[in-house]
């Protein structure tokens, strides 16, 4: 029921303000560009009717005459370095028109023969040939799509050039274009030309208004795509005088399996998307060509094109919903240079810039917000829009799974803002499956989600200890360490560990209702309990900083525990092979037997630590209820666990093999854990 209420709820109880919002969502949006930006992008460069002399722009051999282009740049009065973007756009307009007509006069072979070599520096000549074909086609949607790809590739390649002189490449294109490193290589005037087209909210800013979903297909004059195509070739001509940049490897999307939420998109789902596009209030009507081309791209297995088209439209649709639920209709337009754009970052935030609570999370619900954060924002997630728009992905190898995920998410959002969405869902099994896939979604890429995954890996690794190979029982039992192990574990794990388990069970009671027998909660049962506990849903949206600090420490413990576990299993397998081949020296054999004698003890300990970390994760929110002294004590305790785990990584490494030290260190750690919990339960009620 809730899924289609985000619009209907807004139609009641808001009087005159709501009437103005209705007007903003009933197909009367003629542009998402503000008046100033619309005039700058759509008209200013077309004002001058003078024809630029092509012979002064491009030589007969195809060389770009940069002086003739930079001649049209203007600076602000009394400002030597600040560009007058408006006047520069106006004066460059005739140049762009001449370049556009020139490129349209060439056929594909002529263009490739003339300019193909000058795109080698981008490491993606095929893309620029495609951009040329788009210009020839005169299809606005195709030209806009290829302009997005061009700007992404250009940014990535300019970053490669930057790194030939500098170290940390700027994240923002405008900072990259304003860098001294690129000015040194290409010349300041050349970089200023690029800044007019791409580098500032005061400029044409073509990259941003397209990638953030503000520009409709027909609003970008095709001549700007032609101009950027020629300028890219011109940059290649400048670089020919020096050395070609080294190209950074593409980013690899390795998170696809973890991201999997929805069923695969089949033809029925695609038809469903097509139907919703025409019915849903989520779609801004002037953007319909993008949506339709995205569907066509998916059908034709052009998965990168599909996603490049869809992501800005998801942002536009969410911006539209954002303006409604927060009663700020003007925010659907591009911001001016003095303000921030309303982008994903702001729309997914907890608070608005005026510190009011953002109502979009309430309208969408936690599962959809978690999916959006996982897809777009979390540092360990795919951050798909960032990687795509900055040219960091190989478009030729773009995975179908990612495109399928984004198409399914689009269907969910289209359905949610469709007036008769529930009726359609009742009649369509495919839609019901897609919609229901989101209902129980929990973040995979929030630090809490990553910790959960780490703990699952720990459990899986520790369960492999039962399979650790070794010499015969007689050989191990003859080792003096067997008796030593039994004495130590009787004294330690028989009492101290059981006492710690009882504390952990007590800590669990508010979040786990099943009765647990402490004396029977041995290592394997502890690991089984961990898996059950990790099935609990944990709220991850807008976690306070102190909670994230706790989670960060717990993640360090889990990471080191997994490292220890893998070192033990891998080391045991290696030593077993060496034992069988009789290649171990006497001291190595004794060390191997000491390791095997320690396995059961350490398995119990690390199973306990894995359970402890899981329980502390479930209870992490209590740090907000502690006073400053209690917080310091708690964080100090967690840091001591981190230190223990790090030391154990060192002691169990193939280089060290200090098994006696692991026992001593572990006993000290267990005593600290007991002491902490004893103080905790005596001084704090959980």
* Residue 548 confidence class, pLDDT cut points 50, 70, 90: very high
Q: Which range (80-84, 579-583, 635-639) has the least confidence?
A: 80-84
Q: With 60 as the cut, is the pLDDT of residue 482 above it?
A: no
pLDDT at position 523 is 81
Is residue 81 predicted with pLDDT exceeding 90? no
**DSSP-assigned states of every residue in 32-91:** SS-HHHHHHHHTGGGS--PPP-GGGTB-TT--B-HHHHHTT--B-TT-SSSB-HHHHHHH
Q: Is 480 helix (H, G, I), strand (E, B) or coil?
A: helix
| Residues 84-130: tens digit of each pLDDT | 999 999 999 999 999 999 999 999 999 999 999 999 999 999 999 99
Say whether pLDDT at 679 is over 90: no
pLDDT of residue 21: 31
**Banded pLDDT at 686 (limits 50, 70, 90):** very low
- Determine the pLDDT at residue 24: 39
C-alpha distance across the termini of the chain, in Å: 37
583's tokens: 């290649």
pLDDT class of 25 with cuts at 50, 70, 90? very low
In the prediction, which pLDDT does 23 show? 32
Residue 603 in tokens: 């398995």
Q: Could you count the other beta carbons within 10 Å of the beta carbon of residue 272?
A: 21
pLDDT digits (tens, 9 = 90+) for 48-66: 988 889 999 999 999 999 9
Q: What integer pLDDT is reported at residue 460 of this predicted model?
A: 97
Q: What is the DSSP letter of 116?
A: G
Query: Which pLDDT score, from 0 to 100, does residue 592 have?
Result: 84
Name the H helices within 517-658: 523-534, 545-580, 586-618, 628-651
Predicted confidence (pLDDT) per residue in 628-662, tens digit: 999 999 999 999 999 999 999 999 998 888 888 88
Question: Rounded to an integer, what distance in angstroms lies between the CA atom of residue 92 and that of residue 43?
Answer: 12
Per-residue confidence band for 485, with pLDDT thresholds at 50, 70 and 90: low
Query: Are the beta carbons of 250 and 76 closer than 8 angstroms?
Result: no
pLDDT at residue 4 greater than cutoff 90: no
| Rounded CA separation 244/247 (Å) | 9
2 band by pLDDT with thresholds 50, 70 and 90? very low
Query: Rounded CA gap, 81 and 414, in Å?
Result: 47
Q: Residue 334's pLDDT is what?
A: 82
Whether 7 has a pLDDT exceeding 70, the answer reads no
Contacts of residue 664, Cβ cutoff 8 Å, sequence gap at least 6: none
Distance CA 192, CA 75 (A): 10
Q: How confident is the model at residue 514 (pLDDT cuts 50, 70, 90)?
A: confident
197 has pLDDT over 70: yes
């Amino acid at each position: 029921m809730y899924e289609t209420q985000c619009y209907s709820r807004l139609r009641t109880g808001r009087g005159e303000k709501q009437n103005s919002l209705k007007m903003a969502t009933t197909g009367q949006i003629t542009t998402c560009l503000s008046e100033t930006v619309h005039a700058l992008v759509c008209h200013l460069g077309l004002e001058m009717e003078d024809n630029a002399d092509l012979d002064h722009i491009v030589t007969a051999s195809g060389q770009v005459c940069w002086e003739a282009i930079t001649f049209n740049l203007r600076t602000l009065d009394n400002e030597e370095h600040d560009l007058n973007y408006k006047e520069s756009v106006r004066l460059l307009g005739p140049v762009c028109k001449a370049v556009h007509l020139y490129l349209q006069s060439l056929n594909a072979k002529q263009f490739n023969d003339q300019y193909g070599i000058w795109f080698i520096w981008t490491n993606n000549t095929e893309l620029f040939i495609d951009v040329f074909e788009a210009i020839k086609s005169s299809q606005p949607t195709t030209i806009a799509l290829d302009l997005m790809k061009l700007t992404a590739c250009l940014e990535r390649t300019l970053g490669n050039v930057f790194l030939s002189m500098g170290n940390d490449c700027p994240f923002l294109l405008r900072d990259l274009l304003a860098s001294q490193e690129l000015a040194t290589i290409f010349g300041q005037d050349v970089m200023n030309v690029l800044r007019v087209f791409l580098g500032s909210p005061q400029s044409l800013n073509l990259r941003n208004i397209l990638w953030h979903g503000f520009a409709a297909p027909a609003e970008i004059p095709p001549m700007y795509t032609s101009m950027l195509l020629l300028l890219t070739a011109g940059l290649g001509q400048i670089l020919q005088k020096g050395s070609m940049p080294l190209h950074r490897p593409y980013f690899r999307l390795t998170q696809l399996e973890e991201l999997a939420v929805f069923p695969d998109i089949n033809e029925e789902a695609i038809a469903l998307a097509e139907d919703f596009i025409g019915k849903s209030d989520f779609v801004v009507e002037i953007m319909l060509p993008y949506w339709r081309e995205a569907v066509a791209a998916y059908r034709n297995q052009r998965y990168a094109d599909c996603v490049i088209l869809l992501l800005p439209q998801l942002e536009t649709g969410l911006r539209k919903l954002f303006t409604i639920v927060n009663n700020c209709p003007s925010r659907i337009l591009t911001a001016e240079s003095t303000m921030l754009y309303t982008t994903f970052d702001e729309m997914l935030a907890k608070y608005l810039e005026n510190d009011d609570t953002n109502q979009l999370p309430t309208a969408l619900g936690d599962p959809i917000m978690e999916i959006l954060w996982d897809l777009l924002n979390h540092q360990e997630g795919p951050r798909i829009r960032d990687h795509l728009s900055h040219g960091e992905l190989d478009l030729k190898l773009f995975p179908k799974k990612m495109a399928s995920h984004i198409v399914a998410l689009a269907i969910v959002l289209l359905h949610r803002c469709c007036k008769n969405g529930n009726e359609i869902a009742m009649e369509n099994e495919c839609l019901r499956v897609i919609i229901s896939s989101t209902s129980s979604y929990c973040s995979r890429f929030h630090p809490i989600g990553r910790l959960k995954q780490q703990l699952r890996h720990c459990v899986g690794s520790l369960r492999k200890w039962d399979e650790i190979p070794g010499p015969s029982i007689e050989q191990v039992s003859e080792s003096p360490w067997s008796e030593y192990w039994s004495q130590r574990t009787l004294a330690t794990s028989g009492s101290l560990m059981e006492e710690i388990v009882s504390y952990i069970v007590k800590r669990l009671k508010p979040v786990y209702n099943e009765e647990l027998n402490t004396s029977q909660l041995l290592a394997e049962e502890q690991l089984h309990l961990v898996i059950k506990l990790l099935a609990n849903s944990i709220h991850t949206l807008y976690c306070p900083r102190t909670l994230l600090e706790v989670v960060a420490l717990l993640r360090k413990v889990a990471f080191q525990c997994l490292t220890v576990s893998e070192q033990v299993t891998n080391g045991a397998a290696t030593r077993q092979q060496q034992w069988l081949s009789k290649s171990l020296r006497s001291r190595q054999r004794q060390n191997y037997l000491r390791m095997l004698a320690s396995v059961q003890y350490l398995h119990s300990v690390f199973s306990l630590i894995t359970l402890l970390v899981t329980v502390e994760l479930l209870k992490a929110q209590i740090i907000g209820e502690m006073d400053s002294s209690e917080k310091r004590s708690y964080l100090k305790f967690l840091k001591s666990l981190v230190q223990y785990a790090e030391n154990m990584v060192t002691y169990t490494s193939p280089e060290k093999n200090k098994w006696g030290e692991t026992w001593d260190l572990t006993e000290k750690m267990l005593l600290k854990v007991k002491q902490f919990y004893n103080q905790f339960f005596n001084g704090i009620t959980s």
